[in-house]
């Protein structure tokens, strides 16, 4: 049996209506809501095809996000959903540990360029427990995917500059971190400059996010 068996994907999703505030000067509230939903579904669709994963757990208090997740066979939890990214992941890790799950891989819902191959390769690089694997964001500051085995083996605290603190947190827990770089997982969309960067990336598969941003770019005459 692969060491990846028993690993659950965990994605925290805030309410679509309040998502992507850093894009407020670029996108209208409705556009931000639509972009958040498109990115989340792209991530869900990809994760649902990864055979090595034992399940998907979405932490959210958003009704639309929960309904969308159920279409892809995900389980829904509201525990910690209103406690920010860190609180949501902490609640999920406690739940999975209590259920005896082998581990978790947590990712945000705004990395629509990820591929199933990237997830599979990251899982394959993950060492036997206790272990910690991390994929940094494209700026080497954020943490765009983390695998913990067991699920609660390393305390996690997310933010704009969480990558290096997470490496230190793993070492303090007695675990040598494994660092994997995956361009699709690394490409999160937070700031206006990320919109242009994403549109310039090679598209390995059609995504709702790319279609949405292409239409938006056309309507505005280009991404600044």
Q: Is the pLDDT of residue 61 over 90?
A: yes
Q: Span 70-95, mean pLDDT?
A: 97
pLDDT of residue 205: 84
Residue 16: CB atoms within 10 A of its CB come to 22
- The residue with greater pLDDT, 1 or 112, is 112
pLDDT in tens, 101-123: 999 999 999 999 999 999 999 99
> Which pLDDT band, with edges at 50, 70 and 90, does 55 fall under?
very high
pLDDT score at 4 = 41
Here the tokens at position 12 are 């925290």
Q: End-to-end CA distance of the chain: give it in Å, rounded.
A: 48
The pLDDT of residue 221 is: 64
| 174-202: average pLDDT | 95
What CATH superfamily is the domain 7-198?
Spore Coat Polysaccharide Biosynthesis Protein SpsA; Chain A (3.90.550.10)
Q: What percent of the chain has pLDDT over 70?
A: 96
CB burial of residue 203 (10 Å; 0-12, 13-18, 19+): exposed
Mean pLDDT of 61-83: 97
What is the per-residue pLDDT for 224? 46
Q: Given a cut of 80, is residue 194 above it in pLDDT?
A: yes
HEC secondary structure over 24-93: CCCCCHHHHHHHHHHHHHHHHHHHCCCCCCCEEEEEECCHHHHHHHHHCCCEEECCCCCCHHHHHHHHHH
Query: What pLDDT score was predicted for residue 2?
Result: 39
Q: Identify the pLDDT of residue 137.
A: 96
Res 3: pLDDT: 40
Q: Is 148 helix (H, G, I), strand (E, B) or coil?
A: strand
Report pLDDT for 222.
53
pLDDT band, very low/low/confident/very high, at 160 (cuts 50, 70, 90)? confident
């Amino acid at each position: 049996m692969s060491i990846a068996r028993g690993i659950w994907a965990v994605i925290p999703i805030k309410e679509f209506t309040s998502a992507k505030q850093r894009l407020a000067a670029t996108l209208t509230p409705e556009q931000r809501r639509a972009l958040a939903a498109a990115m989340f579904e792209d991530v869900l669709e990809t994760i649902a095809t990864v055979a090595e994963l034992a399940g998907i757990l979405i932490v959210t208090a958003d009704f639309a996000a929960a309904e969308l997740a159920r279409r892809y066979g995900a389980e829904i939890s509201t525990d910690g959903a209103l406690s920010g990214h860190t609180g949501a992941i902490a609640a999920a890790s406690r739940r999975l540990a209590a259920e005896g799950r082998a581990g978790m891989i947590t990712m945000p819902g705004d990395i629509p360029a990820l591929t199933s191959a990237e997830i599979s390769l990251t899982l394959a690089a993950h060492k036997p427990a206790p272990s910690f694997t991390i994929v940094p964001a494209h700026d080497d500051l954020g943490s765009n995917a983390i695998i913990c085995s067991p699920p609660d083996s390393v305390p996690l605290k997310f933010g704009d500059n969480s990558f290096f603190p997470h490496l230190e947190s793993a070492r303090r827990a007695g675990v040598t971190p494994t660092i994997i770089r995956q361009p699709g997982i690394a490409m999160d969309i937070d700031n206006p400059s990320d919109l242009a960067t994403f549109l310039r990336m090679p598209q390995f598969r059609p995504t709702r996010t790319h279609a949405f941003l292409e239409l938006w770019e056309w309507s505005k005459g280009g991404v600044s």
